[in-house]
Amino acid sequence: MAERGAARSRRTTIRDVAEHLGLSVSTVSSSLNGGGTLKESTRERVRQAAAELGYRPSRTALAFRLGRTGTIAYSLPTADDGSVPMLDVEAYMIGARAAANAAFEAGYALTLTPPTIRGEEGWNLIGADGVVLCDPVQGDERLASLERLGVPVVTIERDSSRPDWPYVVTGDYERNTRTLLDHLHERGARRIALLAPDASWSSAEDTIRAYREWATEHGAEEIVRLIPPARINHDAYVDALELLGSDPRPDALVASAEQYRPGVLRACRDLGIGIPDQLLIAIGGDSQAAEHGDPPITAIDFQPALQSELAVQMLLRRIEGDAVEGPIVSESMLRVRASSGRGQTPGA
Amino acid sequence: MAERGAARSRRTTIRDVAEHLGLSVSTVSSSLNGGGTLKESTRERVRQAAAELGYRPSRTALAFRLGRTGTIAYSLPTADDGSVPMLDVEAYMIGARAAANAAFEAGYALTLTPPTIRGEEGWNLIGADGVVLCDPVQGDERLASLERLGVPVVTIERDSSRPDWPYVVTGDYERNTRTLLDHLHERGARRIALLAPDASWSSAEDTIRAYREWATEHGAEEIVRLIPPARINHDAYVDALELLGSDPRPDALVASAEQYRPGVLRACRDLGIGIPDQLLIAIGGDSQAAEHGDPPITAIDFQPALQSELAVQMLLRRIEGDAVEGPIVSESMLRVRASSGRGQTPGA
């Protein structure tokens, strides 16, 4: 460790270059940073001396000159208490991985931000050249802070207070919800319940609106259970229990998030409800566990890797000042499995 | 949200504190930053007023004072061509997720660095307060650069040119290799082959050394196939084909990395080798696919989440200047599955 200290103290500074040349620090700084009104021969002399002496610009100087740090941030959604480890949700982990790979391809690092990040100081410390913001809430504080700082942002799903925001990749949850409802209806369900978070995420809002519209169009009863904020990222066991314990019982359930799957399945076990014989189940969001579990669960795969890749690519264009066309609607896929019945769906 | 915005626009500056106290800005600054030759009573007065007025230091002030950005970096291994997306290896993804969660818990962001990162400038731009370096090669350039910069590093596995490096979390690949060999031997294997990368990763070196020592101790033939650098992160199909096509054929195979699993299985199919009837298989590194595939594959689970969590905790202690005890040997688990035979292993 002593060696390290010594090595560090020998680092060449801009002052060393100035002393070596008999020039002022500000002249050397201007020469290296492109400012001022110096002769090109002076600049060249400074550059050569800096190279010979092994001067490397500090992070601050580089960032100042280019306005870049070579990092982009990937900001996961937070629940109201800010404590939920969203990376434990498989889709976000897959999204983060795809974002990192897309960033790496462009030579950028990817910073995963802590859920506690707040305000402009927090973002300044991260020092990202741009931010991919996952699932903003309505009037998202992070988005507002970043705009005040002039940091380019691309969101995955919308801040619903900004209907015209173009820098967004969306899985189109209205369409996805209709796809799930149509599928369950084709499989014979007539009392389809919805389990969704009581949150201002646009995906939740779009899901609930689409469900209500679809119910009206089909003359179906609306059976909606909104999960209160305090339980928003729990496994939804309590909520599923109440919803499925009602009389008459729903004959199908759409759980709007993959993380509700374990609680829904546990509630079915505890109530003695057979899947798919007594209840069809479909979830908004896919996972390995949904695919390989018992029973396998029908799901909307909103392709989180594709979404994150598209978001990073859009963000890099914003950072580079290139033209950006948005919003982008990314494709989602219906994965039909045993939980929605054993029949064949036409066209599925 | 409007409230929050309003609060933000009233942000307290160092100037507000100065005006409130009737002191100069530089006096307030010195008081808060520890410079200058002020009386302790003045410093205390300033600190109290700053706290009462809700003053929070800016990024620049914080970074300047503490030399901190509130980010730690997680640096994945690179192959020789630097192009391999290591996050696609499940264990690294799980490790990165655990590292992020451990960083978040301490209020830090986690930066995943691109495989192209080189030299001090690159690390300066990232601006991390410390780095977790996964699987350094011998004489790792990243480790050397970071030491020159004085940035604290913790490695997962060793740089084998630094046998006394204390800041390391290791899965103990010598012990793991012996565990796999003993298990296969107990299951009746007498010609156990090894497939390992020809790389200077300490995990590979330890694996190969332990294999050779074990073979000597058991009077067994050494059947080793080293995967050349150009194919080091491919699926090992070509290498498995050659190894398993030899005569006499091995009766068991240890593939030292999880990413070799698909190629090994394909080679077995193409050669018509039944698992486990004609060949027992075990791999160093676990995955969902190893667990749920057909057949399920016996594996060493070196618990990448635990390793990364321990590494981040050690790194945070280094950053804070706390005492660090290393190296840490993290526990690995043998996961016995169908690929190593259907018998019961005593004590497994």
pLDDT tens for A272-297 read: 999 999 999 999 999 989 998 999 99
pLDDT digits (tens, 9 = 90+) for B71-128: 999 998 876 555 556 777 889 989 999 999 999 888 899 999 987 787 888 888 888 9
Mutation to test the B interface, candidates A90, A117, A125, most B Cβ within 10 Å = A125
What's the pLDDT at A123?
87
Question: Measured between CB atoms, does A107 come within 8 Å of chain B?
Answer: yes
Q: Look at A56 and B124 and tell me if their CB atoms are within 8 Å.
A: yes
Chain A: nearest CA to B284, how far in angstroms?
A: 22
Strands ordered across the beta sheet of B280-284: B223-227, B192-197, B252-255, B280-284, B298-301, B333-335
Chain A: nearest CA to B29, how far in angstroms?
A: 18
Query: Quick one: how many helices (H) and strands (E) in chain A?
Result: 14, 12
What's the pLDDT at B211?
98
Q: Look at A127 and B124 and tell me if their CB atoms are within 8 Å.
A: no
Say whether pLDDT at B283 is over 60. yes
Nearest CB partner across the interface for A104, out of B57, B103, B114: B114
Phi, psi for residue A51 in degrees, rounded to 5: -65, -45
Whole-prediction pTM: 0.78
Residue of A74, A83, A131, A64 lying closest to B109 (CA atoms) = A74
Q: Residue for token digits 């082959």?
A: B193
Max avg pLDDT among A240-244, B18-22, B233-237: A240-244
- Produce one character per residue of B33-71: b if its CB has 16 or more CB atoms within 10 Å, e if not: eeeeebeeebbebbeebbeeeebebbbeebbeeeebbbb
Q: Look at B120 and A56 and tell me if their CB atoms are within 8 Å.
A: yes
Q: Look at B111 and A114 and tell me if their CB atoms are within 8 Å.
A: no
Q: Look at B147 and A7 and tell me if their CB atoms are within 8 Å.
A: yes
Residue of A59, A334, A86 lying closest to A233 (CA atoms) = A86
Segment A103-118 shows an average pLDDT of 87
Say whether pLDDT at A15 is over 80. no
Two structure tokens written together for B286: 């676990």
Question: Measured between CB atoms, does A113 come within 8 Å of chain B?
Answer: yes
Question: Measured between CB atoms, does B58 come within 8 Å of chain A?
Answer: yes
Interface confidence, given as ipTM, is 0.76
Nearest CB partner across the interface for B125, out of A7, A70, A124: A70
Question: Measured between CB atoms, does B66 come within 8 Å of chain A?
Answer: no
Band the pLDDT of B10: cuts 50, 70, 90: very low
Pick the more confident residue, A170 or A36. A170
Q: With pLDDT > 90 as the criterion, what percentage of chain B qualifies?
A: 60
Mutation to test the A interface, candidates B68, B89, B97, B312, most A Cβ within 10 Å = B97
Q: Look at B112 and A111 and tell me if their CB atoms are within 8 Å.
A: yes
Band the pLDDT of B12: cuts 50, 70, 90: low
- On the question of a cis peptide bond just before residue B327, with omega within 30 degrees of 0, the verdict is yes
Nearest CB partner across the interface for B62, out of A8, A96, A125: A125
Q: Look at A109 and B126 and tell me if their CB atoms are within 8 Å.
A: yes
Q: In the predicted model, what is the mean pLDDT of chain B?
A: 86
Say whether pLDDT at A38 is over 80. no
Torsion angle in degrees (nearest 10) through CA of B35, B36, B40, B43? -60
Q: What angle do CA A245, A246, A248 make, to 5 degrees?
A: 120
Max avg pLDDT among A310-314, B9-13, B246-250: A310-314
Chain B: nearest CA to A334, how far in angstroms?
A: 22
Give residue A347's region: left, alpha or beta (phi > 0; psi -120 to 50): left
Say whether pLDDT at B156 is over 50. yes
Q: Look at A126 and B100 and tell me if their CB atoms are within 8 Å.
A: no
Q: What is the DSSP letter of B233?
A: T
Chain B: nearest CA to A78, how far in angstroms?
A: 12
Band the pLDDT of B57: cuts 50, 70, 90: low
Band the pLDDT of B59: cuts 50, 70, 90: very low
Band the pLDDT of A118: cuts 50, 70, 90: confident
Band the pLDDT of A8: cuts 50, 70, 90: very low
Say whether pLDDT at B281 is over 60. yes
Q: Look at A8 and B148 and tell me if their CB atoms are within 8 Å.
A: yes
All residues of chain B having their beta carbon less than 8 Å from the beta carbon of residue A145 are 8
pLDDT digits (tens, 9 = 90+) for A229-239: 777 777 899 99
All residues of chain A having their beta carbon less than 8 Å from the beta carbon of residue B150 are 4-5, 7-8
Question: Measured between CB atoms, does B190 come within 8 Å of chain A?
Answer: no
Question: Measured between alpha carbons, how far is residue A204 from residues A178, A237, A256, A263, B264 in Å?
Answer: 13, 18, 8, 18, 44
Nearest CB partner across the interface for A100, out of B1, B112, B147: B112
Among chain A residues, CA nearest to B127: A59
Mutation to test the B interface, candidates A9, A76, A121, A145, most B Cβ within 10 Å = A121
Chain A: nearest CA to B246, how far in angstroms?
A: 36
Band the pLDDT of B62: cuts 50, 70, 90: very low
Helix (H), strand (E) at residue A184: helix A173-186
Chain A: nearest CA to B224, how far in angstroms?
A: 33
pLDDT digits (tens, 9 = 90+) for A138-180: 999 999 999 998 999 999 999 999 999 999 999 999 999 999 9
Residue type, A115: P
Residues 211-270 on B with a CB inside 8 Å of A are: none
Report the C-alpha gap between A209 and B268 in whole angstroms.
52
Question: Measured between CB atoms, does B89 come within 8 Å of chain A?
Answer: no
DSSP B45-90: HHHHHHHHHT----HHHHHHHH---SEEEEE----TTS---GGGSH
Among chain A residues, CA nearest to B305: A88
Q: Look at B112 and A112 and tell me if their CB atoms are within 8 Å.
A: yes
Residues 123-182 on B with a CB inside 8 Å of A are: 124-127, 147-150
The CB density around residue B234, as the number of other CB atoms within 10 Å, is: 16
Q: Residue for token digits 């818990």?
A: B105
Question: Measured between CB atoms, does A30 come within 8 Å of chain B?
Answer: no
Least confident of A195-209, B76-90, B254-268, B285-299: B76-90
Residue of B95, B96, B146 lying closest to B319 (CA atoms) = B146
What's the pLDDT at B40?
79
Say whether pLDDT at B263 is over 80. yes
